[in-house]
């Protein structure tokens, strides 16, 4: 990411804008988040892979104009400083607890208590230090899923640092396939898997979505976790459903509250049962299950 486009609005306007941005085909590839800056005032931020050109600025202006009329508030475009955010976020940051999991850097190894499941994440270029609401929300949902149903194998789509795959392997001791579209992330994830001695269970692959053969060979999966964005989650609903074993669980994150209905509708339409939605730091984590196959009819 090199730039952000942000705008501060009332809560209802912010959520209308997030929904509109999410449905705008020219923008679905961009990450968007909404954070409450002050009571009732929400900042909506789009993360841009490069400096916006006139075309993108016009698309953003059209989106706000369609919602707010002839003199809409404008997005403020700003460069993102060149920073290794993961390394920066780990320095001096406390370990993050999510249920039994404690996600920590090397400097906090001694904070892992007897019953904790420690996940050590080295500073790197991939997302997933545990400090984000989506990661912590997924870890909590994973713990619940493993407690509730038998899990024989799992898939972590968009593994980033590998944090969720490592958590599943350490908790459930089952084979986990961890994938990411970004080869930098898979390199970081593989290093973290080894650091956490989860390499006997976790296999890391670089892949966009789950269309390639490696997913068919290793599936179907009892547990699928995907912490990516609302747009890709909606698009992946039918293939995630096909990769899921009967009685399996799907955990999704990377969406903000106004995107929940759209994502939930896509997974219901694919045949999954909605179990719960939980929010952490303005981010939603959704859990779905696939009904087990009933006994054969006589």
Residues that bind ligand SAM (CB under 6 A): 126-128, 134-135, 138, 157-160, 163-164, 179-182, 185, 208-209, 227-228, 232, 254
Q: Which is nearer to ligand SAM, 64 or 179 (CB)?
A: 179
Our CA angle for 102, 194, 117, nearest 5°, is 20
Q: Which is nearer to ligand SAM, 183 or 294 (CB)?
A: 183
- Report, in Å, the least distance between residue 41 CB and ligand SAM: 25
CB count in 10 Å sphere of residue 60: 23
Q: Which is nearer to ligand SAM, 121 or 245 (CB)?
A: 121
- Report, in Å, the least distance between residue 229 CB and ligand SAM: 7
Task: Report the DSSP pairing between strands 176-180 and 154-157.
Answer: parallel
- Report, in Å, the least distance between residue 179 CB and ligand SAM: 6
Q: Which is nearer to ligand SAM, 64 or 196 (CB)?
A: 196
Q: Are 153 and 203 in contact (CB under 8 A)?
A: no
Q: In this structure, what token pair is assigned to residue 6? A: 């942000």
Q: Which is nearer to ligand SAM, 5 or 185 (CB)?
A: 185
Give Cβ neighbours of residue 126 (< 8 Å, ≥ 6 apart). Answer: 86, 160, 161, 162, 180, 182, 184, 185, 188, 189
Q: Are 229 and 203 in contact (CB under 8 A)?
A: no
Q: Which is nearer to ligand SAM, 158 or 248 (CB)?
A: 158
- Report, in Å, the least distance between residue 127 CB and ligand SAM: 4
- Report, in Å, the least distance between residue 63 CB and ligand SAM: 22
Q: In terms of Cα–Cα distance, which of 14, 20, 33, 32 is closest to 59?
A: 20
- Report, in Å, the least distance between residue 81 CB and ligand SAM: 20
Whole-angstrom Cα distance, residue 180 to residue 197? 20
Three-state DSSP class for residue 136:
helix
Q: Are 26 and 66 in contact (CB under 8 A)?
A: no
């Amino acid at each position: 990411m090199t730039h952000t486009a942000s705008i501060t609005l009332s809560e209802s306007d912010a959520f209308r804008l997030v929904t509109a941005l999410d449905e705008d085909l020219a923008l679905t590839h961009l990450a968007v988040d909404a954070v409450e800056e002050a009571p009732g005032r929400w900042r909506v931020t789009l993360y841009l892979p490069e400096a916006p050109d006139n075309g993108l600025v016009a698309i953003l202006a059209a989106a706000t104009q369609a919602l707010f009329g002839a003199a809409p508030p404008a997005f403020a475009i700003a460069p993102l400083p060149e920073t290794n955010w993961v390394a920066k976020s780990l320095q001096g940051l406390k370990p993050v607890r999510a249920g039994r999991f404690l996600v920590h850097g090397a400097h906090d190894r001694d904070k892992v208590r007897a019953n904790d499941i420690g996940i050590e994440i080295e500073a790197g270029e991939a997302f997933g230090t545990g400090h984000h609401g989506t990661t912590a929300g997924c870890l909590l949902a994973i713990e619940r899923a493993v407690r509730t149903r038998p899990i024989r194998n799992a898939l972590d789509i968009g593994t980033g640092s590998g944090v969720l795959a490592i958590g599943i392997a350490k908790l459930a001791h089952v084979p986990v396939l961890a994938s990411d579209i970004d080869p930098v992330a898979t390199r970081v994830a593989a290093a973290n898997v080894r650091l956490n001695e989860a390499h006997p269970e976790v296999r890391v692959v670089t892949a966009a979505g789950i269309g390639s053969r490696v997913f068919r060979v290793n599936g179907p999966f009892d547990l699928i976790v995907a912490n990516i964005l609302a747009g890709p989650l909606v698009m992946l609903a039918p293939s995630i459903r096909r990769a899921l074993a009967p009685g399996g669980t799907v955990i999704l994150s990377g969406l903000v509250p106004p995107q929940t209905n759209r994502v939930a509708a896509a997974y219901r339409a694919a045949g999954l049962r909605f179990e719960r939605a939980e929010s952490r730091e303005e981010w939603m984590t959704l859990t779905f299950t696939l009904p087990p196959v009933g006994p054969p009819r006589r």
